[in-house]
Structure 1
């Protein structure tokens, strides 16, 4: 056997020991790789850092406010009908095998019908692709769009997962600002200024993570018109669909699907309070067939063919979850979120050095502004969040983690 440059000796038990590292041919990860960069800027990386700052020997219970996981609060529990649906799916023994790559037909039909309730046209089950949560839906769409030279427009502030996925896929990002004085509406003039012939899509998150805003029909119409003029598709992240508790109702971007192709990303994670069930979807809201014409739908199918599926028994439960959950349950959750938002907004106003530019109207988040000039000894927002975790066991996400400015 050839010597590859390493040295070794055989121990008493016959097992080789002491092989030098020069023998191994796989690379050593470096900070410059897309994977290393994407991982370091992810929301999970930031949360891991904050959680590690908590004083393990302290007596204060951890208050986790940095992640959109409603299950951390006992008052947020899924509907009994959803739990029963999962139990029934398991006991039926019909959902223990592999599912079709695009999803179980009955689940796709149920989701198409669910989304069509709010649209001026009907979605087909063929328009629905099931994913392992909304995060996998993000992964698929960014990977599909990441062609050489292409760029995508992302909101700032925004959900950090998009930046992580675009970095890993080496898709260029261009940011447009959300304006806090206008309820975090998109600055559409800046959208027009940064787009060019290589721009493929714009991301709209509504209701917003992390801003807690909900867009009006008029603003969504303006976004659709702008995207149509630019010839780009809209990725509509609506994982918080219907979690609107302010003056404006939730309106899906898909109602403008005849103006511009819309790809909606969603999940049962937030409205049903079950992020751990990992059931999401991609919905092509495109009655004009532009996504088929440009083969985007085929690219989605191709990517799904090389990735994993959501758990089959959860897919099997979806029709019953959607059909049986009572409106009273949803109203109860909205009341809880509204009361929490009112309390949070009111308390923030009483804290010197922290302001809230816009009262939250949807999702599960509020974006606050930190004025470091009023606070001694803090270098930036990350330092503030780390010390808050260490001294008070309270976890909040820094604005930098949402691609926002420091204060």
Structure 2
């Protein structure tokens, strides 16, 4: 009898944010158990509401956006994105260098498919947002993970990056602000990455979707602004800053020097045309959204909900014996470190399952972000303060007696 197996292209692909631990949580929920979800960056379930102007604009535009748009997106949307790029000092971007997408996720996959041949290598951070590694792999490439150093505020280890560049390397991925660590990279570190890309003639991929969720008076520096002589592909969108993850509204911009990438751009254009266009009603929101950034600023300013929840979760973690964390400066993630000797931890996924089953707290283990040592996990601190407090009290109680078998 003929059977059908999954493609071998998926052999090294994982997405544990929605993986086996979440599967177990869903079984528990189906049985009527209440789970505190600290695993996924979806603002809506936690009471975050999109700005009223965005909802009104969506309703207003529904009957005007029933057909396909240009494959790259509505002119008005790309015009607003272009203005945003100019404010961020992103060089040499025109209307034709901007592509809207069904979220950034679609565009990451598209960008890898358009570039990579079998065996090509791309430097990807560890820990990473796992879609990057998956997209490189599915496109036939090899994701080579460079270390981000917790002792240096989770900044990329430049020496490790240097050691991992080979004649097969085509690009470097930079996630800034970072998911899962919440780190915000300094201009000096970004300049070092640019110099490395310049020396080895590499493309830069800049995942910058959290650039409007920066705290403590810090400023996000667009990677492309430091590299006018290189090709930088920058990714951004409205899912997080405007709290409309379900609307699937992202974009990708080709910045800097495109003279050596004509073939690659042809590939991007072909792939963009093949999927016809991205969600047109969501595209129509972009001008309004980018003219309305105050709500995002308020969330991450002192007194704002994300800022205050960041303060709480960071301090609560310091109060739990065997846990520590670098204080995040952006987004809404924190990546605590476990004392694995104290808890005898050899399998971080099992730790996550044990915590879920005993205390009904859902987290994502560090291995889900291609972090090799089983000593970290990610917390999404979007739930309200009361839920965060309950989860941290339960975690403290759990770790007081926990020893992995």
**Structure 1, unpaired ranges of 5+:** 1-21
Distance 1:102 1:187, change over 3 A: same
Deviation at 1:49, TM superposition (A): 3.0
Q: 1:333 maps to what in 2?
A: 299
Task: Provide the C-alpha distance between the structure 1 equivalents of 2:341 and 2:26, rounded to a whole number of angstroms.
Answer: 27
**Stretch moving more, 263-272 or 118-127:** 118-127
**Stretch moving more, 366-375 or 260-269:** 366-375
Written as runs of structure 1 = structure 2, the 5 A alignment for 1:320-359 is 320-323=288-291, 325=292, 327=294, 329-334=295-300, 335-356=304-325, 358-359=326-327
Matched, 1:80 2:30: no
RMSD: 2.0
Deviation at 1:249, TM superposition (A): 1.3
Task: Provide the C-alpha distance between the structure 1 equivalents of 2:32 and 2:115, rounded to a whole number of angstroms.
Answer: 47
Deviation at 1:351, TM superposition (A): 1.1
From the CA coordinates, give the structure whose radius of gyration is larger: 1
Q: 1:45 maps to what in 2?
A: 19
Distance 1:110 1:159, change over 3 A: same
Task: Provide the C-alpha distance between the structure 2 equivalents of 1:120 and 1:274, rounded to a whole number of angstroms.
Answer: 25
Secondary structure, aligned partner of 1:290: coil
Distance 1:268 1:201, change over 3 A: same
Deviation at 1:36, TM superposition (A): 5.1
Q: How many residues align?
A: 371
Distance 1:351 1:56, change over 3 A: farther
Written as runs of structure 1 = structure 2, the 5 A alignment for 1:7-406 is 22=1, 28-30=4-6, 33-35=8-10, 37-38=12-13, 40-46=14-20, 48-52=22-26, 54=28, 56-57=30-31, 59=33, 61-74=34-47, 76-90=48-62, 93-119=63-89, 121=91, 123-286=93-256, 288-290=257-259, 293-307=261-275, 309-323=277-291, 325=292, 327=294, 329-334=295-300, 335-356=304-325, 358-375=326-343, 379-404=346-371, 405-406=373-374
Task: Provide the C-alpha distance between the structure 2 equivalents of 1:354 and 1:122, rounded to a whole number of angstroms.
Answer: 45
Task: Provide the C-alpha distance between the structure 1 equivalents of 2:12 and 2:79, rounded to a whole number of angstroms.
Answer: 39
Task: Provide the C-alpha distance between the structure 2 equivalents of 1:363 and 1:261, rounded to a whole number of angstroms.
Answer: 26
**Stretch moving more, 187-196 or 312-321:** 312-321
What TM-score, normalized by structure 2, do the two folds share? 0.86
Task: Provide the C-alpha distance between the structure 2 equivalents of 1:65 and 1:139, rounded to a whole number of angstroms.
Answer: 26
